[in-house]
Structure 1
C-alpha cells in the first residue's frame, strides 16, 4: 500500500488545530477539501479517526494511535523540506573540491585561511588529485582544471590568466653543472621528472619553436609523483624541474631557485574552476568563487 501522504497531512493538521476549518486555513485549502481528504483516509484505513460534534472534533483510539506515529514523522518531513530548501542558499554547508597540488598551491593556498575565517560554517573538503574527476559521480561540487581540458557541458570560471611554464634549478646546481642555453642542452643535465599519480604517465618537457611545440626526452636519477617533493629536490641542487612558473614564485624571490630557457617556454590555457549547471546557484560555491577572484591576489577577473 502506498502511503497516503496528502491525506495524512490533512489528518495531522486537523489533530493539531482542533477543527476542519482551522486545518484548512493552516494548509491554505478549502474546508470541503479537508473534509473530503479525511473521509478518503478513513475509508482507506477502514476506521474512524475523529469523533465529530457540532462544536469540535476529537481523536478516536485509532486516531490517537495514528497521530503518535504520523505527527513526529511529518515534523521530520517538514524539517527535511526546510533543510533542502535552504541547502546551498546559505553561507553554511559542505563544499567538496577536486584539485591538483599545483592548483592548491597557486590559487587556493593564499586564500583559504581568510575564507575559513570569513565563513566558519562552510566546511571545505579537498580531494587532491590530478585525475579528470567525475564531479557528480564522485559526490563533488567543483574541480580545478586547465582550460583546455574542461567538458563543454560544465560551467567554467577562469581563475588565472594563461600560465607560463618554466625550467628551474638552484644556484648550487648551476654552479656545478652550468646553465642550459637551449632545450636540447637538457639532455646533458640531471632532470627531476614528474609522473602523474592517476595515469602513471610521465609529464612531457615541452618547448616552443618557430615550427610549434616539441618535447625533449630528458633523463635524470630521480622521478617523483608529488610536486612539492620535486621542488624540494631542486632546491637541494639534485637536478632541474619543469613546472608552472607561478608555482615557484616564492622560491625565486628567496633566491632558492632560478628559471632558465625563458624564451623557449610555452604557456598553458590557465586554471579554471568548473562545476555542473545544477550548482550555479549554490551559495557556498558562489562565495568561494567570489573569494578566489577577489582583489589582492594574482587571480584574473575575466571569465
Structure 2
C-alpha cells in the first residue's frame, strides 16, 4: 500500500506533539486539515491509530507499530534535507577538479598544501586527465584548462599569464645532434612525442611562421603519455621535447635543458579555472578560487 508522504507526516506530528492542534501548529496548517488527513489515513489502513478522549490522544497498538516505522524515516529525510541545504555552503564537503598533469605542476601543487591546511574539512579530489570531458557529466565541480579549450557556457577565471611553448634538449643531445636553427630542421632530429590518453592522437608541434601558425610533422622512436617521463628522457639526452616553457623553467635555469628555436615559439592563452554557473555560490569552490588568487603567485 502506497500512502501520501504528507499524510504520514501528519500522523507523525500528532504522535510527537500529543494533540491535533499542536500538530497543526507545528505543520503550519489548520486543525481541521490535520483531522481530515488522519481520518483518511485510518480509513486507508482500516484501523484506528489513536484513542481520542476529551482530554488526551494516545496511540493504539497499530499506531505504535506505524510510528516505529515512520519516525526513523522522517528523521532520515530531515537529515537529508539539512545535508542538501548545507552542502556547498560551508567550509566542508568535497571539491572535485579535472586538470591535466602540467596544470597540477604549474598552479595547483604549490597551493594545495596550504589550502588543505586552511580548510581540513574540505575533501579534494583531483582527476588528472588530458581529456576534454564534460565536468558536469563526470560528476566534477570544476576544471583547469588552457583558455582556448574552455566551453563558452562556463565561468572562467584566469590563473596564469599567457604561456610560451618551447622546444628543448639537453646540452649532451645538442652536442651530439646539433641545434635546430629553423623549424624544418626538426625533421632531422629525434623528437620525443606525447600521445594523449583520451584521443590517442599525438600532441602537435606548432611553430610561428611569417604566414602564421603551422605544424611540423616531427618523428622519433620514443612516444610517451606522461610529461614527467618526457622531461626525464630529454634530460638524459634521448631527444627533443615540446611543451610549456614554464613547466621546465627550473631545468632551464639549472642548464639541464636548453631552449631552441625560441623566435618561432608561439604563446597560448594561459591556464584558467572553469566551472558551471550553477556552482558559483558553492563555498568550497569559492574558497579554492580565493586561495588560488591569494597564494598562486601569478
> Would you say 1:89 and 2:89 are equivalent positions?
yes
Question: What is the TM-score when the length of structure 2 is the normalising length?
Answer: 0.94
When structure 1 is superposed on structure 2, of 267-276 and 222-231 the one drifting more is: 267-276
- Compute the RMSD of aligned alpha carbons: 1.6
When structure 1 is superposed on structure 2, of 29-38 and 73-82 the one drifting more is: 29-38
1:296 positional shift: 5.0
> Would you say 1:251 and 2:251 are equivalent positions?
yes
- Identify the residue that residue 206 of structure 1 maps to in structure 2: 206
Match runs of 1:122-161 below 5 Å: 122-161=122-161
Match runs of 1:177-216 below 5 Å: 177-216=177-216
Match runs of 1:52-131 below 5 Å: 52-131=52-131
- Identify the residue that residue 6 of structure 1 maps to in structure 2: 6
- Identify the residue that residue 301 of structure 1 maps to in structure 2: none
Are the aligned partners of 2:111 and 2:296 in contact in 1 as well (CA < 8 Å)?
A: no
Are the aligned partners of 1:4 and 1:41 in contact in 2 as well (CA < 8 Å)?
A: no
5+ unaligned residues in a row in structure 2: which ranges? none
5+ unaligned residues in a row in structure 1: which ranges? 299-303
Once residues 201 and 296 of structure 2 are traced to their aligned partners in structure 1, the CA distance between those partners, rounded to angstroms, is 37
Are the aligned partners of 1:52 and 1:58 in contact in 2 as well (CA < 8 Å)?
A: yes
When structure 1 is superposed on structure 2, of 210-219 and 271-280 the one drifting more is: 271-280
1:37 positional shift: 2.0
1:281 positional shift: 1.6
Equivalent residue of 2:213, what SS?
strand
Once residues 67 and 289 of structure 1 are traced to their aligned partners in structure 2, the CA distance between those partners, rounded to angstroms, is 47
Deviations 1:182-210 (A, max 9, x none): 22222222211111111111111111122
- Identify the residue that residue 169 of structure 2 maps to in structure 1: 169
When structure 1 is superposed on structure 2, of 36-45 and 51-60 the one drifting more is: 36-45
When structure 1 is superposed on structure 2, of 274-283 and 111-120 the one drifting more is: 274-283
Once residues 205 and 296 of structure 1 are traced to their aligned partners in structure 2, the CA distance between those partners, rounded to angstroms, is 29
Deviations 1:89-118 (A, max 9, x none): 111112222111111111111111111111
Are the aligned partners of 1:92 and 1:284 in contact in 2 as well (CA < 8 Å)?
A: yes
Once residues 169 and 114 of structure 1 are traced to their aligned partners in structure 2, the CA distance between those partners, rounded to angstroms, is 34
Question: What is the TM-score when the length of structure 1 is the normalising length?
Answer: 0.93
- Identify the residue that residue 229 of structure 2 maps to in structure 1: 229
Equivalent residue of 2:274, what SS?
strand
- Identify the residue that residue 268 of structure 1 maps to in structure 2: 268
Are the aligned partners of 1:142 and 1:275 in contact in 2 as well (CA < 8 Å)?
A: yes
Once residues 19 and 220 of structure 2 are traced to their aligned partners in structure 1, the CA distance between those partners, rounded to angstroms, is 84
Are the aligned partners of 1:133 and 1:143 in contact in 2 as well (CA < 8 Å)?
A: no
Moved over 3 A (4+): none
Once residues 163 and 190 of structure 2 are traced to their aligned partners in structure 1, the CA distance between those partners, rounded to angstroms, is 25
Once residues 75 and 8 of structure 1 are traced to their aligned partners in structure 2, the CA distance between those partners, rounded to angstroms, is 13
The total of aligned residue pairs comes to 298
1:80 positional shift: 0.8
When structure 1 is superposed on structure 2, of 42-51 and 116-125 the one drifting more is: 42-51
Are the aligned partners of 1:93 and 1:121 in contact in 2 as well (CA < 8 Å)?
A: yes
> Would you say 1:277 and 2:277 are equivalent positions?
yes
